[in-house]
Each structure stands twice: as C-alpha cells, then as structure tokens.
C-alpha cells in the first residue's frame, strides 16, 4: 500500500514514516519545511534502509498534490501538516485557519479528484477544552479554549460532513494527548524552530545549556504535587497507533474520532525528575505564576483505541526521557 504523509518531516510524521516503512508500506512524504529540517529525510532513509520519496510542497497547492497522489498511486493519506502553537494561534488566527483548515480542505479536494477515500487526521486533545469530567472520552463535549484547538475542531467537523456525504470515505481523527520522546536511534526527534512550546524539548534545551532555565507555570494547582499534569505518550507508541488506525480504516467506512493517549497523568515535576535521571543532570527551574489558559490536569480515556484499533501505549516516561535526551545529545554533537 502507498501512503502519503503530509508534514512527513515533522516530529510525529517522521516517526510514523519509520514504523510504516518497517511494516512494508510504501511511504511518500510532503512537507513545506516551515517547522522541520531537510536533514530529517536522509535520516529516515538511513534508519529504514528504504527509499522514501520527498516533495517540498505546501498542501494548499491542490494541483501539485493531485500530481503527487497520481504519480505514486497513493491509497491512503495521513495528514500531519499543521501549525501547532497555541500561543501563536491567538496572535495569528488567520494564519492558523488558513493553514490548518484551508490546508485540510485543499488536501481533501485533491484526494477526491484522485478517488482516494482513506484518511487519517492529526487531531488533538485541545478539542475538548475545560474538562467536565476526566478522563476525557470521545463523547466529552467539544469546546476548545484557543484558536489552535478551534482549527482542529473545525477540521474534524469538515471531515465528519465529508464522511456523511459519501459512503466511500473512511476517516479516523486521532486526538493526540502529549507526544514526547524520540526514535531509539537518536537520529530523529522533536526539532522545533525557535523556542520550544512543549515541555520535553524545552527541558532538553535547558539540559544542553541552550536555554538558561525552565519556567514552571504554577506549583499551586490542586494536583499531586501542585504542578500541571498531562498525559505524555511516547511518539513511537503514537506512530504505531497510526498503523493500527490505517488497518482499521481499510475495513471500516465512516468517521471515527479516537483518543491516542496512555490514560496516565504525569506532573511537570515527575517529568523533570525522570529526565534528570536520563541526562544525569539537574534542571534549573523557576516557578512563575499560573499561565492563563492552562488547565491543571487532563488525561485520556484510551478504551476506544483499545477496542477499535487493538492498540495501547507500551512505553513509559523513562523511555520518553532517555530517547529525547539521546536525540538532543546527538544534535549537540552535530553542531
Ligand atoms: N506535538 C504535539 O504536541 C501535538 C499534539 C496534538 C496534535 N498535534 C498535531 O499533530 C500534527 C503533527 O504535529 P508535530 O508535533 O509533528 O508538528 P511538527 O511541526 O513537527 O510537524 C508538522 C509538519 O508539517 C509541516 N507543515 C505545516 N504546514 C504545512 C503546509 N501548509 N504544507 C506542508 N507542510 C506543512 C511542517 O513543516 C512540519 O514539518 C500537527 O497537525 C499538530 O497540530 C501535535
């Protein structure tokens, strides 16, 4: 089977490309490199020992997408390409709607023009908003608190309408919790441009001396140690979740929103402690006041993924920290 990955050189796309290639899928990558580096492509071919065609392309370029879908006789698309900064989405909403919603429409149009109806979408736990109960299950009300989350929800709504309009469509919207970690080779990992928005790459950059200290936004929440709790999931588990979802949509038509999380919440301090063990260092931290828009705690109900996809996360927090640090140390060596 030939699978097109949009945003295929990004953090989650690149790890999924590895797992797909190892399981015998033919992978084609497109990315406009707005948040990734071209070197990742060579590293993907090095890890897998397989050729992986790559096209530098913006997914809003529908006619170019059609050409690629035809050239490689693509059977299914996994759509990772998107902008993901919650903070930037509030200052640049048009950029986010254009890229995340407009980009998804362009891709669906190209697929329809080529009679391709199997689609996996990178959605996010941010679609849920303030927890009315926890763990979040897929029936939890969808009230995103920021523009980024709204772009993901709008894309999901479009996908649901598209699936209703034509019974050939088979679509999974995978709602990721907090991806972290890296491939065991240390050759690919999370490589944000500029100051990282996510905790793990931020901690990595403090440990390597690139950033002076880690801000802890609030240590007085009603959580196990006062810091925020999240459901961190190893990016390799997440990648395997995509392969399971691909198998599922090969056999089932319709629209399926599915959480990909571990069901376990972990505090900022717990993550730092585990990371300090991996890197054998002390992370310098400064406690700041709470940041507006941050939730104290959330985590996934992972039952639907288990039932429908026969998938669950297997790797633990320590292995996320070990692999993230290995990737960061490799980066420092190659500077
Ligand atoms: N990492 C997370 O914490 C997280 C959580 C939930 C959901 N997601 C979603 O998962 C997807 C992948 O996330 P990631 O962490 O790998 O992010 P990433 O930024 O590492 O990867 C996204 C890739 O898409 C590319 N891209 C963006 N806009 C594009 C466009 N218009 N055309 C072509 N390429 C484009 C970027 O260059 C980048 O390589 C995103 O849609 C993101 O919103 C991520």
- Asked if residue 151 has a cis previous peptide bond (ω within 30° of 0), the answer is no
Q: Got the DSSP string for 57-126?
A: --TT-HHHHHHHHHHTT--EEEE------HHHHHH-HHHHIIIIIIHHHHHHHHHHHTT--EEEEEEEGG
pLDDT tens across 256-312, in order? 999 999 999 999 999 999 999 999 999 999 999 999 999 999 999 999 999 999 999
CA of 224 to the centre of ligand 1 (A): 31
Query: Whose CA is closest to atom 7 on ligand 1?
Result: 124
pLDDT at 13: 98
pLDDT over 70 (residue 60):
yes
Active-site residue, 148 included: yes
Q: Is the CB of 122 under 6 A from ligand 1?
A: yes
Mean pLDDT, rounded, for 121-143: 98
Bridge partners, residue 119, by sequence: 77, 171
Token pair for 246? 């691909």
CATH architecture of the domain formed by 2-181+232-262+300-314 = 3-Layer(aba) Sandwich (3.40)
- Give 1: exposed, middle or buried? Use CB within 10 Å, 0-12, 13-18, 19+: middle
Q: With a 6 A CB cut-off, is 261 part of the ligand 1 pocket?
A: no
Ligand 1 centre from 76 Cα, in Å?
Answer: 18
Residue bearing the CA closest to ligand 1, atom 34: 31
Determine the Cα–Cα distance for residues 56 and 170; give it in Å rounded to an integer. Answer: 27
CA dihedral of residues 28, 32, 33, 38 (deg, nearest 10): 40
Ligand 1 atom nearest to CA at 59: 32
| pLDDT on residue 335 | 61
174: three-class secondary structure by DSSP = strand
Domain boundaries, the chain: 2-181+232-262+300-314
Closest among 299, 236, 223 to 267, alpha carbons compared: 223
Quick check: CB of 151 below 6 Å from ligand 1?
no
Largest CA distance in the chain: 55
Residue 80 has pLDDT above 70, yes or no: yes
Q: Average pLDDT for residues 215-229, to the nearest whole number?
A: 97
Secondary structure in 3-state letters for 227-265:
CCEECEEEHHHHHHHHHHHHHHHHHCCEEEEEEECCCCC
Tens of pLDDT along 170-205? 999 999 999 999 999 999 999 888 889 899 999 999
């Amino acid at each position: 089977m030939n699978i097109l990955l949009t945003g295929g050189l990004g953090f989650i796309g690149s790890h999924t490309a590895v797992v797909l290639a190892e399981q015998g899928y033919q992978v084609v990558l497109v990315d406009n490199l707005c948040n990734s580096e071209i070197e990742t492509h060579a590293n993907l071919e090095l890890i897998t020992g397989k050729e992986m065609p790559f096209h530098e392309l913006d997914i809003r370029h529908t006619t170019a997408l059609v050409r690629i879908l035809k050239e490689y006789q693509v059977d299914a698309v996994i759509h990772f390409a998107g902008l993901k900064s919650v903070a930037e989405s509030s200052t640049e909403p048009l950029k986010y709607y254009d890229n995340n919603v407009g980009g998804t429409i362009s891709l669906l149009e190209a697929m329809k023009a080529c009679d391709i109806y199997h689609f996996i979408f990178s959605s996010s736990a941010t679609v849920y908003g303030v927890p009315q109960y926890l763990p979040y299950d897929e029936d939890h009300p969808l009230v995103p608190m920021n523009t980024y989350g709204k772009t993901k929800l709008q894309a999901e709504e479009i996908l649901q309408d598209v699936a209703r309009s034509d019974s050939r469509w088979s679509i999974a919207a995978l709602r990721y919790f907090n991806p972290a970690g890296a491939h065991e080779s240390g050759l690919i990992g999370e490589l944000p441009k500029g100051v990282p928005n996510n905790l793990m790459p931020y901690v990595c950059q403090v440990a390597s001396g690139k950033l002076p200290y880690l801000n802890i936004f609030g240590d007085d929440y009603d959580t196990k140690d006062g810091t925020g709790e999240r459901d961190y999931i190893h990016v390799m588990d997440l990648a395997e979740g995509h392969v399971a979802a691909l198998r599922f949509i090969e056999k089932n038509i319709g629209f399926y929103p599915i959480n990909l999380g571990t069901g376990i919440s972990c505090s900022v301090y717990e993550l730092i402690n585990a990371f300090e063990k991996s890197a054998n260092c002390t992370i310098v931290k400064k406690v700041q006041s709470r940041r507006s828009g941050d939730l104290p705690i959330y985590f996934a109900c992972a039952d639907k993924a288990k039932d429908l996809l026969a998938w669950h996360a297997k790797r633990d927090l320590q292995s996320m920290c070990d692999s993230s640090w290995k990737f960061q140390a490799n980066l420092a060596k190659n500077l």
